Amino acid sequence: MSDDAERLIDFVSSVSGDAYLKVEETLGDGYVRLKVSEAERRQAKHDIRGVEDIIVELLRNARDAHAQRIFLATAREGDVRTVTVVDDGIGVPAHLHEAIFEPRVTSKLETMVMDRWGVHGRGMALYSVRANVMSARIASSEPHKGCAMSIAVDTTVLAERADQSTWPEVAKDESGSWSVVRGPHNIVRRVLEFACEHPEIDIYLGSPAEVLATAHAVARDVLDASELMFCDDPGRMPVWQRPAVAADAAELVELARSLGLDISERTAHRVLSGELTALRPALAIATVKEKSTAAQPDIYRDRRGLKIHRTDLAAFQTELERAFDVLSERYYVHLKGQPKVTVGSNEIRVRFFVDKED
């Protein structure tokens, strides 16, 4: 028996079955050569350090698919963060829905993208995402019809920033382009950083209900009346437009779930009735906040009372509407119109007018 064979037998007998599956060759003195699959797995674990990194990879994936609209829905329940990305890119054929999560699978044979986050095009991004999460799947996609992808993350395994509600500040740089200047490194920041790099892409960020309402509203703006009224097969339409042709709340629930957006029938009724306001693109929201901050009146110059700029009030009302959705879901009440904000000399009053379900 050769020395190499004896050494291999000694190594196999000294390690567990799992370890042996990871090693291509033992080199002695504690050194081994890993199998390609194990090296890829470890690299994938290294590429993703937090939930925010997953957001970046999903946005880059949609960009590389030539998306012009990206709808990003995210929510957290307990320790589980769910993320669904719906885009209007080139889509993925059905027979590749699983293959794109395998290592070294890419559509960029001749090209790869170098951006502020590094190299993209190695065929490792989606593999890295799946290696770090509870589940990652394509909910719906076909060639030339866009894609809907859903992710579930155990935040006790892959952490996220504690502050996920604060919007970072943006400002124009010397070239006149927007950039993020301060704020927590949360999901919103990653979205805004990406949006600043790619202002040509509209990125809508919100809860599943808000994103569904937005896709429904935006699609109805671009579709003509005949498409809305006489579509007997939503599956023939681009994935992001399908909610717009729902005949009733029950169908909207099914169409939403086929995109990875899990909503209740009551939420579907609110979408169809227009109670849920469509989101604006994330960069538009951030730049309005920045402009409104710059336009603040000098409250020390006017001692008669507190003054708040109208754009700040509008942004405040939008945040109040989002906050009210929590009560609406739990206690079956609907918001009638926008919250009313009254600014006094030394107080700010907020009133919500509601309808209660029977």
Q: What pLDDT digit, counting tens, does each position of 270-307 carry?
A: 999 999 989 999 999 998 766 655 544 444 444 445 66
Beta bridge partners of residue 172, listed in sequence order: 178
CA dist list (Å): 76 to 153, 160, 250, 253: 9, 11, 24, 20
| Angle in degrees, CA 206, 210, 213, rounded to 5 | 140
pLDDT in tens, 110-145: 566 666 666 555 667 888 899 899 999 999 999 999
Nearest to 50 by CA among 207, 203, 186, 191: 186
φ/ψ of residue 115, rounded to 5: -130, -170
Nearest to 88 by CA among 74, 71, 106, 67: 67
**CATH architecture, range 45-207:** 2-Layer Sandwich (3.30)
Domain boundaries, the chain: 3-34, 45-207, 212-273, 295-356
Task: Please state the pTM of the whole predicted model.
Answer: 0.71
Q: What is the mean pLDDT of the chain?
A: 81
What is the spatial distance between Cα 125 and Cα 286, in angstroms, rounded to a whole number?
28
Q: Is the pLDDT of residue 14 over 60?
A: no
